Amino acid sequence: MPEITRDEVAHLANLARIDLSDAELDHLAPQLSVILESVASISGVAGDDVPPTSHALPLTNVFREDVVVPGLTPEQALSGAPEVEEQRFSVPRILGEEA
Amino acid sequence: MSDTLIAFDDVLASYDPAMGLEVHVELNTLTKMFCGCPTEFGAAPNTQVCPTCLGLPGAMPVVNRKAVESAIRIGLALNCDIAEWCRFARKNYFYPDMPKNFQTSQYDEPICFDGYMDVDVDGETFRVEIERAHMEEDTGKSLHVGGATGRIHGADHSLVDYNRAGIPLIEIVTKPILGTGAKAPEVARAYVAQLRDLIVALDVSDARMDQGSIRADVNLSLSPKGSGVLGTRTETKNVNSLRSVERAVRYEMSRHAAVLGSGQKILQETRHWHEDTGVTTSGREKSDAEDYRYFPEPDLVPVAPSREWVEELRGTLPENPTARRARLQAEWGFSDLEMRDTVGAGALNVIEQTIAAGTSPQAARKWWLGELARRANEQGLLVDALPVTPADVARVQALVDEGSLNDKLARQVFDGLFAGEGTPDEVVAARGLAIVSDEGALSTAVDNAIAANPDVADKIRDGKVAAAGALIGAVMKEMRGQADAGRVRELILEKLQ
């Protein structure tokens, strides 16, 4: 039975930059366990002759030729940026206080 | 704060080094790995971007066929197996240079695996085994504002340009390189140098380490001599020249030995190489950052290169650079030193083409490694990027051989070629550079020189033939260099003896 612990949920939330309160962890960890169990029930249906898959489509080798396609103007590219400086995306300091 | 180091010889008395090298090669495709944005170096910020490489919602990646071909060709040249089926994976991490918050890479299914390259150091061959070569994408470029000289430490904020984000990279990873002992630093350097030559021969990358199109990470650990137990490793990043690869290995060996010798443990960490001071400093410790939660990329279907395709690509492989070099050295009769200088100057191809155009090997070498290498240096270019072609050099040398030019005039022809004045023959005509074979004019110039230098003339009359040099100089000056010095000498001696 797959089960995900409260600590694992806290760890994953931290990696995903999701700030969860204790109450939310208490609430969400059991729910995620239920979801994992539900998904795992698929393995009960698939026989040994059905390999695990990552894609719904039976396709391989979908390629594009190496030809330039016009993209966005810098104005368009930066239109959603909270801060812009020197035609670049301005982001807050990268290293934290410890650096 | 500087590290304690142990003398290199003392390191070897107690420890065996183990190395691992990770080399990132930026491909020279016209477009990015997963979108049609151009990849040109040096464009204005954020002018080569689209919804896909900016990670905007709903954008869908599609793989660049040329990048896959280049990956397979690199793998084949490194004697790798090519996967019959492999997938891309998402490597999840948060860092502003990766706008999607994940890098599309390959995880446990690299397209190339289990290869090797034989590396020569001073006549000794070391086999470097290749673990894998996989496809991924480059990140954006950050400019750090505030704090000291653009460094990330102490910066107020950072400015990001995503032109580079999504450019195809091939990461080539070795297995642990063991048994190199005192030669570890040189083996590391020779491996990267030979790999670069291979990449150049394959024409899959600009292969400019100074522009970051080839970047090396150096993993190093020490084990107590003879124990065979691998020690804790450090990963040194930002090693962007061949010389730095060698120095970084040497430095980390000395630093590890000092730490271990004092009874402390090596911290498994990323270290940064500083080209200017020749030291490494601690970067981030590996902890949560290592937990990348890889999973198969759902937006890209698997890559399954048919065996026919792989064999077709194998047919496009160039001659192995090491073998080619040995063949050319024998054909040209170059000494080891001459050959090393030729390769070091990046002049192998242009010299080969000049010789093919009819010039003798030594004359081709003389121009490309002398006059032209000097001019290339001045302009910060490689010789093959000069405005002078092998055909031009061959023509200039042909004019020298037939007596129409001497070396000094030939250099003036190159001046003209650099100034864009046309072909060698056009430059000679326009600048009036051909050697004057008009005996009358020469004879007059010789008479003038004798009259202006009676003391020298007397010495020659007395049999001191060596004094003729001064008169030859005077004649050449009057002829503005456009005379055959040998013929001038003959005339002087005829008149005075």
Q: Domains along chain B?
A: 8-313 (no CATH), 321-431 (no CATH), 439-496 (1.10.10)
Highest mean pLDDT among A53-67, B60-74, B267-281: B60-74
Name which of A38-47, A86-95, B12-21 the model is least confident about.
A38-47
Three-state SS for B241?
A: coil
Per-residue pLDDT, A98: 37
Mean local confidence (pLDDT), B66-94: 96
CA distances from B359 to A24, B356, B364, B396, B493 (A): 80, 7, 6, 10, 33
Chain position carrying tokens 């107690």: B14
Q: Determine how β-strand B157-161 pairs with β-strand B112-121.
A: unpaired
Alpha helix (H) residue ranges in chain A: 6-15, 22-40, 42-45, 74-78
- Residue A84 included in any domain: no
Mean pLDDT of chain B: 91
The band of A91, judged by pLDDT with boundaries at 50, 70 and 90, is: very high
Characterize the bridge pairing of strands B141-145 and B269-274: unpaired
pLDDT for the residue B165: 97
Structural domain tally of chain A? 1
Residue A55 in domain: no
- The reported pLDDT for the residue numbered B150 is 62
In a domain, A22, yes or no: yes
Count of CB atoms within 10 A of residue B359's CB? 25
Residue where the block lists tokens 């070099």: B325
> Does A54 reach chain B within 8 Å, measured CB to CB?
yes
For B:247-306, CB contacts with A below 8 A are: 288, 291, 293, 295-296, 298, 300-305
Average pLDDT on B95-108 reads: 93
- Give the pLDDT confidence score for residue A23 in this predicted structure: 95
pLDDT band at B289, cuts 50/70/90? low
Any idea how long chain B is? Answer: 497
Nearest to residue B12, comparing CAs of B139, B184, B198? B184
**pLDDT digits over B199-220, tens only?**
999 999 999 888 889 999 999 9
Residue numbers of A between 67 and 86 with CB closer than 8 Å to B? 67-74, 77-78, 80, 83, 85-86
A5 pLDDT exceeds 50? yes
Query: Which structural domain range is residue A42 located in?
Result: 1-46
Write the pLDDT tens digit of every residue in B424-445: 999 988 888 877 767 788 888 8
- Domain membership flag for residue A68: no
Instruction: Take residue B32 and report the two structure tokens written for it.
Output: 């990015």
Position B404 scores a pLDDT of: 86
Are B111 and B309 in contact by the 8 Å Cβ rule? The answer is no
Which residue from B31, B68, B295 is facing A67, i.e. has the nearest CB?
A: B31
Residue A70 pLDDT level (bands cut at 50, 70, 90): very high
Is B64 in contact with A78 (Cβ distance < 8 A)? no
In angstroms, rounded to a whole number, what is the distance separating the alpha carbons of residues A22 and A19? 10
Helices then strands (H, E): number in chain A?
4, 3
Report the range of poorest mean pLDDT among A33-42, B78-87, B358-367: A33-42
Question: What's the CA gap between B112 and B174, in Å, rounded?
Answer: 12
Alpha carbons B204 and B35: distance in angstroms, whole number: 18
Q: Which residues of B touch A92 (CB under 8 A)?
A: 157
Q: What's the 3-state SS for B86-152?
A: ECCEEEECCCCCCCCCEEEECCCCCCEEEEEEEEEECCEEEEEEEEEEEEEECCCEEEEECCCCCCC
At residue A96, the pLDDT reads 52
Per-residue H/E/C for B38-58: ECCCCCCCCCCCCCCCCCCCC
For tokens 């730095």, the residue is B244
pLDDT band at B148 (very low <50, low <70, confident <90, very high): low
| pLDDT score for B82 | 98
Interface membership of B160 toward A (CB under 8 Å): yes
Q: Is the pLDDT of residue B153 over 90?
A: no
Min CA distance, A27 vs chain B (Å)? Answer: 23
SS3 B285: strand
**Which among A75-84, B285-294, B446-455, B480-489 has the top mean pLDDT?**
A75-84
Dist CA B272 CA B279 (whole Å): 8
Confidence of residue A2 (pLDDT cuts 50, 70, 90): low
Query: Is A19 an 8 Å CB contact of chain B?
Result: no
Q: Name the region of A19 (left: φ>0; alpha: ψ -120 to 50; beta: rest).
A: beta
- Tell me the count of A-B CB pairs closer than 8 A: 139
Residue A79 lies in a domain: no
pLDDT at B244: 95
Residues ≥6 apart with Cβ < 8 Å to B437: B403, B484
Residues 368-407 on B with a CB inside 8 Å of A are: none
- The token duo for B206 is 């600009």
pLDDT (0 to 100) of residue A99: 34
Name the CA radius of gyration of chain B, rounded. Answer: 29
Instruction: Give the other-Cβ count within 10 Å of B474's Cβ.
Output: 20
Q: Return the closest-CA partner of residue B91 out of B374, B297, B341.
A: B297
CATH of the domain at A17: 1.10.20.60
Residue A97's pLDDT is 38
Phi-psi bin for B77: left (phi > 0), alpha (psi -120 to 50), beta? Answer: alpha
B211 CB near a chain A CB, below 8 Å? Answer: no
Separation between Cα atoms, residue B393 and residue B389, nearest integer Å? 7
Among the partner residues A60, A88, A92, nearest to B304 by beta-carbon distance: A60
**In this structure, is residue A96 part of a structural domain?**
no
* The pLDDT value given to residue B105: 97
| Closest Cβ opposite residue A94 in set B49, B158, B302 | B158
Task: Please tell me the distance from the alpha carbon of residue B363 to that of residue B196, in angstroms, as a whole number.
Answer: 27
Chain A residues near residue B301 by CB distance under 8 angstroms: 55, 57, 59-62
Q: In chain B, which residue's Cα lies nearest the Cα of A80?
A: B56
This prediction has a pTM of: 0.78
The 8 Å CB, 24+ separation contacts for B148-153 are: B152/A94, B152/A95, B152/A99, B153/A95, B153/A99
pLDDT over 70 at B138, yes or no? yes
Q: Place B415 in a pLDDT band, splitting at 50, 70 and 90.
A: very high
Contact A66 B66 (CB under 8 A): yes
Contact partners, residue A22, CB within 8 Å, separation at least 6: none
Cβ burial of A60 (10 Å; 0-12, 13-18, 19+) is: middle
- CA dist., res. B438 & res. B322, Å (int): 51
In Å, how far is A23's CA from the nearest CA of chain B? Answer: 24
Instruction: Check whether A44 has a pLDDT greater than 90.
Output: no
Q: Least CA distance to A76: which residue of chain B? A: B50
Higher pLDDT, B154 or B156: B156
Better-scored residue on pLDDT, B484 or B117: B117
Please list, in sequence order, all residues whose beta carbon lies within 8 angstroms of the beta carbon of residue A15, skipping any fewer than 6 positions away. Answer: B92, B288, B291, B293
Mean pLDDT of the region B376-390: 88
Phi then psi for B88, rounded to 5 degrees?
Answer: -90, 160
- Kindly list the residues from chain A whose CB atom is less than 8 angstroms away from the CB atom of residue B288: 14-15
Q: Which residues of B are less than 8 Å from A8 in CB distance?
A: none
Instruction: State whether residue B62 sits within 8 Å of chain A by CB.
Output: yes
% of chain B with per-residue pLDDT over 70: 97
Question: What 3-state DSSP class applies to B437?
Answer: coil
pLDDT score of B478: 84
Residue B129 has pLDDT above 90, yes or no: yes
Q: In what order do the strands lie in the sheet with B234-239?
A: B81-82, B112-121, B124-137, B168-174, B15-26, B214-224, B234-239, B269-274, B279-285
Within 8 A by CB and 6+ apart from B377, the residues are none
Q: How far apart are CA B207 and CA B203, in angstroms?
A: 9
The number of CA neighbours under 13 Å toward the Cβ of B476 is: 17
A8 falls within a domain: yes
**Cross-chain residue pair A91–B30, CB shorter than 8 Å:** no
What value of ipTM does the predicted structure carry? 0.87
Percentage, residues of chain B above pLDDT 90: 65
**Which residues pair with residue B248 across a beta bridge?**
none
